[in-house]
A and B are shown apart, each in its own frame.
Chain A
Amino acid sequence: MRELSLNVLDVVQNSISAGASLIAVRLRENRAQHSLSISIEDDGCGMTPEQVNAVTDPFYTTRTTRKVGLGIPLFKMAAEMTGGSFSIQSVPGEGTQICACFNSDSIDFTPVGDICGTMTMLISCNPEIDFIYEYTLDGRQFVLDTRTLRETLEGVPLNMPEVTEWIRGFLQENTEELQGDTPAAAPDSEGGAV
């Protein structure tokens, strides 16, 4: 995977297959500490402790098309490559929570990439599922909650093309604003060209 946002897109498929009705994706970034965490939480069918132990094994999968399942192993690898960590918790019947922590100054850190594209796509392709996307950068935050959008839309589906474009724009504008003029941007450039 060339972008962490593609890992997110991939791992969220598991939540969708688990029959989740609400999926929360949270990105927390601290630029001074070079840390990034990505958590994915769902209210799907959950997994047994045995399954939780097995999912990080590339040769474990519940699907029947073939014998490998690489989604979770690749995401875990991306985190551990940077010296970060990966955890997964699940309760059958309640849901699953996955958290990956990254050291963003590691040479092996994969860029986050187009996370707005990932979220827009997930929302527009799964209009029956609710999504929460939360991006926290250096303590400042914005949230997109499709349950709020649904209230405003009053029955108009979330996957109408104009609504999709609104969501894409909302995510991009808010991301740019957070990343824009914050004082914490300075430490990044301190080292100069290497």
Chain B
Amino acid sequence: MKTLAELQAIRDKARKEIEMRAETEDGIRVVVGMATCGIAAGARPVLNALVEEVSKENLSGVTITQTGCIGICQYEPVVEIFEPGKEKVTYVKMTPEKALRVVHSHLMNGEVVTEYTIGASAV
């Protein structure tokens, strides 16, 4: 059973990492649309897949958050990626499988997965 003692151990370990990270804050922000439309379309498994994979790959500069309705409900689940100094990338009709590819290709190697973007879907 998970105990608070375990949480303390996590805390002590995390403290050191946070100190190191604060120096080099250049974070990528990943935002998942989590309104009624996104949730109904399957945004929760997509967000879970993103969180798990980012944690597994230990990508410390990436924050994953949720937002409300982005306004393109027919394209949900929608994932937006904000990188400092770059244009926003909007991925549409996401699945947990597609999310994994985005983590590996976009977040880890800087290569946008063009075929999942709204530009490719809207044509």
A is bound by B: yes
- A residues in contact (CB < 8 Å) with B: 1, 6, 9-10, 13, 17, 63, 65-66, 69-71, 74, 114, 117-118, 121, 124-126, 148-149, 152-157, 159-166, 169-170, 173-174, 177
Checking B10, B39, B48 against A163 with a beta-carbon cut-off of 8 angstroms, the contacting residue is B10
Taking the closest CB of chain A, its distance from the CB of B99, in whole angstroms, is: 14
Q: Are B7 and A173 in contact (CB under 8 A)?
A: no
Q: Are A71 and B36 in contact (CB under 8 A)?
A: yes
Q: Are B4 and A121 in contact (CB under 8 A)?
A: no
Q: Are B68 and A13 in contact (CB under 8 A)?
A: yes
Q: Are A162 and B68 in contact (CB under 8 A)?
A: no
Point out the residues of chain B lying under 8 angstroms from A1, CB to CB.
39-40
Q: Does B2 contact A (CB under 8 A)?
A: yes
**Pairs A–B under 8 Å by Cβ, sample size 22:** A6-B40, A17-B68, A66-B69, A70-B36, A71-B35, A74-B36, A117-B44, A121-B51, A124-B51, A124-B64, A125-B34, A125-B47, A152-B7, A152-B11, A153-B11, A154-B11, A156-B18, A159-B63, A161-B51, A164-B55, A166-B7, A177-B1
CB-CB contacts of B51-87 with A at 8 A, as 1s and 0s?
1001100100001111011010100000000000000
Q: Is chain A's binding surface mostly helix, strand, loop or mixed? A: helix
Q: Are A162 and B13 in contact (CB under 8 A)?
A: yes
Checking A13, A121, A160 against B14 with a beta-carbon cut-off of 8 angstroms, the contacting residue is A160
Q: Does B109 contact A (CB under 8 A)?
A: no
Taking the closest CB of chain A, its distance from the CB of B109, in whole angstroms, is: 20
Interface centre among A1, A17, A152 (most CB of B within 10 A): A152
Q: Are A121 and B47 in contact (CB under 8 A)?
A: yes
Q: Are B39 and A6 in contact (CB under 8 A)?
A: yes
Q: Are B11 and A169 in contact (CB under 8 A)?
A: no
CA distance A148 to B8 in the complex (A): 12
Checking A10, A117, A169, A170 against B35 with a beta-carbon cut-off of 8 angstroms, the contacting residue is A10
Point out the residues of chain B lying under 8 angstroms from A9, CB to CB.
34, 39, 44
CA distance A161 to B56 in the complex (A): 9
Checking A114, A117, A156 against B15 with a beta-carbon cut-off of 8 angstroms, the contacting residue is A156
Q: Are B14 and A164 in contact (CB under 8 A)?
A: no
Checking A69, A121, A153 against B66 with a beta-carbon cut-off of 8 angstroms, the contacting residue is A121
Q: Are A65 and B69 in contact (CB under 8 A)?
A: yes
Q: Are B64 and A125 in contact (CB under 8 A)?
A: yes
Q: Does B25 contact A (CB under 8 A)?
A: no
Q: Are B54 and A166 in contact (CB under 8 A)?
A: no
Q: Are B63 and A163 in contact (CB under 8 A)?
A: no
